[in-house]
Amino acid sequence: MIGRRGFITLLGGATAAWPIAARAQQPSKLPTIGFLGESTASGQREWVAAFVQRLRELGWVEGRTVEIEYRWAEGRNERVAELLPELLRLKVNVIVTQGTPAVLLAMQATSVVPIIFPIAGNPVANGLVASLARPSGNVTGLTNQTADLAGKRLELLREIVPNLRRLAIMANVENPSVALDVGEVKTAADALGFEVATAEIRRTEDIAPAIEALQGQVEALYVAGDPLVTTNRSRVAILAVGARLPTISGNRENVYAGGLISYGPNLSDLHRRAADLVDKVLRGMKPSDIPVEQPPKFELVVNLITGRALNLNMPASVLARADEVIE
């Protein structure tokens, strides 16, 4: 396996014109993507499938025209820090990773290897890029704009839970993107007249006691998106139903796992679009010349099975607007 510098020297800048067939005949010189997943292989199965499928459509066939080195952080930032040097020793041509903490750690690990993020909250406010139009440095990707949607999510909760007065936010407070989200939620909650409590989590072991402590104290739970939550989405959903708490999040996979409702971008689609950015990088573009992209739309997903378990009557107005209803 040759390094990025050797690869570029060998190609002489003609990557885009070099036929895929020729690349396939030289397997020792395949470009390599380091895919550092925020969660686990099973937890990100749909995201990875979308990413790999789009790469294939663009001519990057795993094992034939490109290599992909997968590593899984299991929702732990310390694991990200352990895995990044391993990927860099493999001389990957580009690193793909999700979430603000992982991207910040990748930026600390290398200022040379391109970094593509399929998911990040507010990349400008969190210091990932200088601006959306001109990212600068070696980083670009896609924002899920999670904090921008806080007010909309609370309005949806109010429709579904008419007696909603007290709201809890479950948040990994060590994630700077989550901190921004929490701030927006509190601002929106104040405008709607809700009381707000924050259930702080930092590790898997914090989730159960955090939710149990909320039972009978609040009427709904806002689940802030985070790799720790992604890794434990089923645990969160089961415990919330047990505590009689309707949940809302920005991730449809949380609803598939048993959460009540989600409103946000399709994260599989963001990973698919991230493959387009990886393609540009592998063909010679600099991340600084690739603008950060925003979601084309936001989707509402409702789990009626969970709604029935919570004895909630889902309003027809919400169901009519839903992009997907799980029955």
Question: pLDDT tens digits, residue range 245-259?
Answer: 999 999 999 999 999
Please count the residues of the chain.
327
Do 272 and 159 sit in the same domain of this protein? no
Do 199 and 305 sit in the same domain of this protein? yes
Rounded to the nearest 5 degrees, what angle is found at the Cα of 203, between the Cα atoms of 307 and 101?
100
Total domains in the fold of the chain: 2
Do 304 and 271 sit in the same domain of this protein? no
Q: Is residue 294 part of a domain?
A: no
Sequence-distant (≥ 6) Cβ neighbours of residue 306 within 8 angstroms: 237, 241, 255, 258, 259, 260
Residue 29 confidence (pLDDT): 79
Residue 4 confidence (pLDDT): 44
How deeply is 218 buried, as exposed, middle or buried, from its count of CB atoms within 10 A (0-12, 13-18, 19+)? buried
- CA dist 296 and 34 (Å) reads 26
Q: Are 120 and 128 in contact (CB under 8 A)?
A: yes
Do 180 and 69 sit in the same domain of this protein? no
Residue 173 confidence (pLDDT): 83
- At 248, which CATH number? 3.40.50.2300
Nearest Cα to 259, choosing from 218, 217, 298, 312?
Answer: 312
- CA dist 309 and 305 (Å) reads 6
Residue 315 confidence (pLDDT): 95
Residue 23 confidence (pLDDT): 43
Give the pairing of strands 299-303 and 261-264: antiparallel
Residue 59 confidence (pLDDT): 97
- CA dist 248 and 120 (Å) reads 19
Instruction: Answer positive or negative: Cα dihedral of 35, 40, 42, 44.
Output: negative
152 CB-side CA count, 13 A: 16
Do 182 and 221 sit in the same domain of this protein? yes
CA-to-CA dists, residue 155 to 90, 145, 322, angstroms: 47, 17, 14
Do 48 and 151 sit in the same domain of this protein? no
- Domain of residue 157 covers 147-264+299-326
- CA dist 285 and 288 (Å) reads 8
Low-confidence ranges of the chain (pLDDT < 70): 1-28, 146-147
- Collapse the DSSP code of 142 into the 3-class scheme (helix H, G, I; strand E, B; otherwise coil) and give the result: strand
Do 25 and 136 sit in the same domain of this protein? yes
Give CA 226 to chain center in angstroms. Answer: 7
Do 156 and 136 sit in the same domain of this protein? no
Do 247 and 284 sit in the same domain of this protein? no
Paired tokens of 266: 């399709």
